Amino acid sequence: MNTPDWLLISPTLGPCRCSTLSRPAKGGFIEKTIGDGLELLRGAMFSEEIARHPGFLQRCDPRVKVVTLLGLLVAAAFVTQLLPLAILYVVGLFLAYLSAIPLGFFVKRVWLFIPLFTGVMVLPALFNVITPGEPLLVLADWGRPLAFGPLRLPSYLAITQQGLLGATVLVSRVAVSISLAVLLTLTTHWSDLLKALRSLGVPRIMVLMLAMAYRYLYVLLGTASELLVARKSRQIGPLSDHGEGRRFLAGSMAVLLGKSYNMSEEVYAAMVSRGFNGEVRTMDELKMTRFDLLWGTLALLIAFALIGGGQILGA
C-alpha cells in the first residue's frame, strides 16, 4: 500500500487570508509613541543593572559623585577652547570604561540627541551673516551687499572659520555635559541619587516630585500599552477611517486621566498610612571612604586644571 501524495506534501501553514495577522500593518503614531516609551523604560532598567555592577564610579558615595561630576560640568561650562573640552570628553569615556559601561551604548546615548537639538541651534552661526570672519566655503556670491529694510547682508554667503570653531566648541560642550550627566545616572541607583540630593540641601518637595515622576512614568506607559494591546486584540481589519482612530485616542486619554487621578489618591493614602513624610530612605547608608576623598580631590584638580589651561590657551 502506497502513501497518498497529499500526506507527502508539506502544506504551508499560516493565518487565514481574512486575518489581520497575515500582513502586519504599519504602526501608527500612537503605537510608535508607546513603543518609544517602552524602549525608554528598557533603557532605564538597563541603567539600573549597570548601577549594580562593580565599577569605579559605582564604588563612590553618591554625594561625592554628584559634587565631583557637577564640578566637572561647571568646568566644561567655563572652558572656551576645544582642546580642554576634548580632554574632558576623553576623561568621561575613560570613567565609563572603568565603570563597566559598554562604550557603544554610552556613546550612542550621548550623541543620539546632540545633532537634533544643538545642531539645529548652531547651524545659523556657521554663516558670515551671523558670525563674520574668514570664509572657508563660499556658498553664494551675488556681487554686492544686499539690503532688506534695516537688514543688511554681505555680498556673499559663506561658512566662516570663526563660526565653525564656535559651533564645534558649543557642540563639544554639550556632548561633555551630557556625558557627565549620563555617567551620574547610569552608575547611581535612583533612590541613592535622590537621597544624595536631599542630603546636599535640595528642597524636599523637589526630590519628592522627581521620585514620583520617575516611578509613575512606568505606570503611565504600562497602562497606555495595555490599552493599545486590548484595542488591537479586538480589531478585525484596518480602521475604517481616521475619525475612528481619533476617537480611540481621545477615549484612551480620558481613561488614562481617570486612572492617574484614582491611582494618585490611592498611592498618597498608602504612603501616608505607612509613615511617609517626604524624606527619601534607602536600605544602604551613605558613607564616605578614602576612595571617595581621593576621587573627589582628583576630580577637583582636573576641573581647576582644565579651567586654568583654557584661560592660558585663550590668552
C-alpha cell at 123: 547651524
Matching residue, cell 559601561: 101
Matching residue, cell 548652531: 122
Rounded (to 5) percent helix, strand, coil in the chain = 65, 5, 25
HSE-CB of 13 using CA atoms within 13 angstroms: 1
C-alpha cell at 33: 509613541
- Domain membership of residue 20 (yes or no) is no
- Domain membership of residue 1 (yes or no) is no
C-alpha cell at 92: 568621561
List the domain range (segments joined by +) for residue 93.
Answer: 28-232+254-274+286-314
- Domain membership of residue 8 (yes or no) is no
pLDDT one-digit tens code per residue, 221-258: 777 777 777 777 776 656 555 666 677 767 777 877 78
Span 116-126, mean pLDDT? 79
Share of the chain above pLDDT 70, in %: 75
Whether the per-residue pLDDT at 5 is higher than 70: the answer is no
- Domain membership of residue 237 (yes or no) is no
pLDDT one-digit tens code per residue, 28-55: 555 666 666 666 655 655 567 787 888 8
HSE-CB of 126 using CA atoms within 13 angstroms: 16
- Domain membership of residue 149 (yes or no) is yes
Q: What was the pLDDT predicted at 39? A: 65
Q: What was the pLDDT predicted at 93? A: 92
93: three-class secondary structure by DSSP:
helix
For the chain, the straight-line distance linking the first and the last C-alpha, in angstroms and rounded, comes to 99
Integer Cα distance of 75 and 84 in angstroms = 10
- Domain membership of residue 267 (yes or no) is yes
- Domain membership of residue 85 (yes or no) is yes
State the total domains in the chain.
1
- Domain membership of residue 155 (yes or no) is yes
> Which has the higher per-residue pLDDT, 259 or 281?
259
Q: Which of 134, 129, 181, 175 is nearest to 152 (CA)?
A: 129
